[in-house]
Chains A and B, each alone.
Chain A
Amino acid sequence: MAVNKQNHKSSSRLKLLLEKRHIWFAMLSIAAVLAVYPFVVMSSSSSAPEIVPPGGSHNGENVEQPIEFPHNTHVKDNGINCMYCHTYARRSKVAGIPPTSKCMGCHKVIATDKPRIQKLTEYWEQKSPPPWKKVHDVPDFVHFTHEKHLKRFVFDQDFPVENVKEVCAFCHGDVENMTVAHKVKPLNMGWCKTCHINNGGPGDCWACHK
């Protein structure tokens, strides 16, 4: 390899290149593209009263529950409203797990022969509720409240309450078709924040962190 020669040649080519004016435009346009990227990161539509469901997906782990509760049977096959069991959702920050008595209300007579129901009955008789595992868990410093989200997306919109599962699905996914619930949305801050921006939610940090 004729290094020396090569060097001279390349340097003279470069010299040509450098003397051309348009190189400056090229360089500055690279700079401009790079410089606006923070704008691009956050760009999205402005707040509006209509509902923009949050996107995003998450491949949740399969959580082992004491009883493999089949959400599909209850919601899809039997058409039970989410808030029938998760009754606190409209009144409190937590949606609540139904008390065992509520399960037993039906299952004293329904499907008593199924092993899962027998397990439930066992818990009931031992007077200890099943130790459910938390699937949708946000960090302790996040103060999410179901009550206000339902107000925003259901009650303020005159959204039919019987279809509330569509709103629940924003964050909990298609529970209707799940057996044991698992996480299908990221539930992380960026995700929450995007939804807040799209739906005109508060942008104040203290809205969630106290």
Chain B
Amino acid sequence: MYNEKDINEQIAWAKINADVLRSMENPRKGYWLAVLICVLMLICAAFAEYIQYTTGMGPANLNNPHMWGMYISTFVFWIGMSHSGTLLSAILHIIHADWRKPIYRFAEAMTTFSLMTAGLFPIIHLGRVWNMYWVLPYVSDRGHWPNFRSPLVWDAFAISTYLSASMLFLFIGMIPDLAICRDNAKGWRKKLYTVLSLGWMGTDRQWRNFRKTYLLMACFLIPLAVSVHSIVSADFAMSIMPGWHVTTFPPYFVAGALYSGCAAIITLFVLLRYFFRFEEYMTTPIMEKTCKLTFAIAMVWTYLNLVEFCSVWYGHDIYNKEVLIAKATGPYAWVFWIMIFCGSVVPFTLAVQKLRRHMPTMFVVSLLLNLSMFFERWMIVAPTLSMSHDPHQWDIMYASVVQWAIVFGSFGWFGLLFLVFVKIFPSVSMYEVKEMVFHRRRHLVNEEAAARFHRRKDDSQTTTGEPGLEGA
């Protein structure tokens, strides 16, 4: 039905440079407004954290059964979000899906920034934040070490590993682009890019090592991403609490993470495409492919959800079962059903070609998907704490203003980081788009040559890439 190309392979390389560099210049009023909003959100969070720091965890409405609240669920949410970059960049890189090229950069940035956001939450939720470094194994005369059996220590290790690996991945992948920026910038930017591009000249030696390094990084990033979210799930699964002590949690968390990551990519895809006029790079077919991928992951997530419910149901562990029933019928039922609806029903819009080509719809849908994912994390953390073994301590908890302010502010923090990023760094990978264009053009030329050779008339169908899903 729609036979567009992923990208117009005739696009001039100079135009690519110009388009992307243009996006980094002269912020418009809207940009400053967005920055202002983000800063204000951040101020909310800072104020709330100030209250919490000075008075204790009480204002967050945490209490005896609910020792963890939305901080931890938001932590899981952001960690999940961080899997987008890994998925789009590393996995698709390894399987040579070249349509990732125009959109992976911002996905990777998202990975890094959402990790930087996620990492704040376990710290914020500590009762004694000022002692957070005790989790790290450092040498002291007291001979103290952290308890390496604790999943929270695993978290600390995993997040720092993941953060450094994904930052390196983002950075390495950006070096050739930084060199482009360096060659086109003036003033402080020139200095900045000169330092950051590390003297990139595009020599064949640099390219060779670059390609290998990038591949190695990607190879490590994939198991790392899986392990990170498995470890995050271990925060729950390693406990004995009903509803947490679930063997399917690691894959469930990973699927949820990829899901929310994809959904967030769609959101940012639409925003960047619209605001930076990247229509030529972030094309509808690429959107379609992303949507299809998201749909597939959504179905995996749905399946794992069902598996979890079924295993609880057939396992007949009374405490587990009680929590499951309470999730669906108890005080948090509305959250649960919104999660199920938005997470398992709404994604079917992604299967409809007409809808997934409609950017505003996809924007709304992706927000709904992320809402579902946010609720999913809440449904993991809260009901178990509310309804665990001891009925005497059953309780219902909703987050207080302080908690909400900090969670709200975390979106501002993420937004701010992202806004700064898009104006300082190229949010579309120029060299890779060039590569994509180069290879597709070459492919096209070869195809044409072959066609001429075989005297085929009809060569209009033989564009590169996959054709659209016929009449979905």
Q: Contact: A190 with B143, CB < 8 Å?
A: yes
**Which residues from chain A contact B205 at a C-beta distance below 8 Å?**
7, 11
Q: Contact: A41 with B142, CB < 8 Å?
A: no
Q: What is the CB-to-nearest-CB distance from A19 to chain B, in angstroms, rounded to a whole number?
A: 17
Report the bound CA distance from A188 to B143 in whole Å. Answer: 12
- CB-CB nearest in chain A for B143: A42
* Interface residue B472 (Cβ < 8 Å from any Cβ of A): no
Among A7, A41, A42, the one with the most B-chain Cβ atoms within 10 Å of its Cβ is A41
Of the residues A7, A37, A41, contact of B143 by C-beta under 8 Å? A41
Q: Find residues 142-171 in chain B having any chain A CB closer than 8 Å to their own CB.
A: 142-143, 145
Q: Contact: A189 with B142, CB < 8 Å?
A: yes
**Which residues from chain A contact B145 at a C-beta distance below 8 Å?**
38
**Which residues from chain A contact B141 at a C-beta distance below 8 Å?**
188-191, 193-194
Q: Tell me whether chain A's interface is mostly helix, strand or loop, or mixed.
A: helix
* Interface residue B139 (Cβ < 8 Å from any Cβ of A): yes
Q: Find residues 180-206 in chain B having any chain A CB closer than 8 Å to their own CB.
A: 205
* Interface residue B140 (Cβ < 8 Å from any Cβ of A): yes
Q: Find residues 115-139 in chain B having any chain A CB closer than 8 Å to their own CB.
A: 139
Report the bound CA distance from A188 to B142 in whole Å. Answer: 8
Report the bound CA distance from A190 to B138 in whole Å. Answer: 14
**Which residues from chain A contact B143 at a C-beta distance below 8 Å?**
41-42, 190, 193
Report the bound CA distance from A193 to B143 in whole Å. Answer: 9
Among B139, B142, B145, the one with the most A-chain Cβ atoms within 10 Å of its Cβ is B142
Report the bound CA distance from A148 to B143 in whole Å. Answer: 24
Q: Contact: B142 with A193, CB < 8 Å?
A: yes
Q: Find residues 170-202 in chain A having any chain B CB closer than 8 Å to their own CB.
A: 188-191, 193-194
- CB-CB nearest in chain A for B209: A11
- CB-CB nearest in chain B for A192: B142
Report the bound CA distance from A189 to B144 in whole Å. Answer: 10
**Which residues from chain B contact A190 at a C-beta distance below 8 Å?**
140-143
Report the bound CA distance from A182 to B145 in whole Å. Answer: 32
- Digitize A35-68: 1 where CB-to-B-CB distance is under 8 Å, 0 elsewhere: 0011001100000000000000000000000000
**Which residues from chain A contact B140 at a C-beta distance below 8 Å?**
190
**Which residues from chain B contact A38 at a C-beta distance below 8 Å?**
139, 145
**Which residues from chain B contact A193 at a C-beta distance below 8 Å?**
141-143
Report the bound CA distance from A194 to B205 in whole Å. Answer: 55
Report the bound CA distance from A38 to B139 in whole Å. Answer: 8
**Which residues from chain A contact B139 at a C-beta distance below 8 Å?**
37-38, 41
Report the bound CA distance from A189 to B205 in whole Å. Answer: 54
- CB-CB nearest in chain B for A190: B141
Q: Find residues 16-42 in chain A having any chain B CB closer than 8 Å to their own CB.
A: 37-38, 41-42
Q: What is the CB-to-nearest-CB distance from B252 to chain A, in angstroms, rounded to a whole number?
A: 35
Q: What is the CB-to-nearest-CB distance from B201 to chain A, in angstroms, rounded to a whole number?
A: 10
Report the bound CA distance from A191 to B143 in whole Å. Answer: 10
Report the bound CA distance from A38 to B143 in whole Å. Answer: 9
Report the bound CA distance from A65 to B357 in whole Å. Answer: 82
- CB-CB nearest in chain B for A189: B142
Report the bound CA distance from A191 to B140 in whole Å. Answer: 11
Q: What is the CB-to-nearest-CB distance from A2 to chain B, in angstroms, rounded to a whole number?
A: 14
Q: Find residues 273-288 in chain B having any chain A CB closer than 8 Å to their own CB.
A: none
- CB-CB nearest in chain A for B201: A3
Report the bound CA distance from A190 to B141 in whole Å. Answer: 5
Report the bound CA distance from A182 to B141 in whole Å. Answer: 23
Q: What is the CB-to-nearest-CB distance from B157 to chain A, in angstroms, rounded to a whole number?
A: 16
Q: What is the CB-to-nearest-CB distance from B45 to chain A, in angstroms, rounded to a whole number?
A: 32
Q: Find residues 196-225 in chain B having any chain A CB closer than 8 Å to their own CB.
A: 205
Q: What is the CB-to-nearest-CB distance from B138 to chain A, in angstroms, rounded to a whole number?
A: 11
- CB-CB nearest in chain A for B205: A7
**Which residues from chain B contact A191 at a C-beta distance below 8 Å?**
141
Report the bound CA distance from A83 to B315 in whole Å. Answer: 69
Q: What is the CB-to-nearest-CB distance from A54 to chain B, in angstroms, rounded to a whole number?
A: 12
Q: What is the CB-to-nearest-CB distance from A104 to chain B, in angstroms, rounded to a whole number?
A: 43
Report the bound CA distance from A116 to B140 in whole Å. Answer: 44
Among A11, A189, A191, the one with the most B-chain Cβ atoms within 10 Å of its Cβ is A189
**Which residues from chain B contact A188 at a C-beta distance below 8 Å?**
141-142
- CB-CB nearest in chain B for A191: B141
Report the bound CA distance from A38 to B144 in whole Å. Answer: 11
15 A-B pairs (CB sep. < 8 Å): A7-B205, A37-B139, A38-B145, A41-B139, A41-B143, A42-B143, A188-B141, A189-B142, A190-B140, A190-B141, A190-B142, A191-B141, A193-B142, A193-B143, A194-B141
19 other A-B residue contacts (CB within 8 Å) besides A37-B139, A190-B140: A7-B205, A11-B205, A38-B139, A38-B145, A41-B139, A41-B143, A42-B143, A188-B141, A188-B142, A189-B141, A189-B142, A190-B141, A190-B142, A190-B143, A191-B141, A193-B141, A193-B142, A193-B143, A194-B141
In the A-B complex, the 9 residue pairs with the closest CB atoms: A190-B141, A190-B142, A189-B142, A42-B143, A41-B139, A193-B143, A193-B142, A190-B140, A7-B205
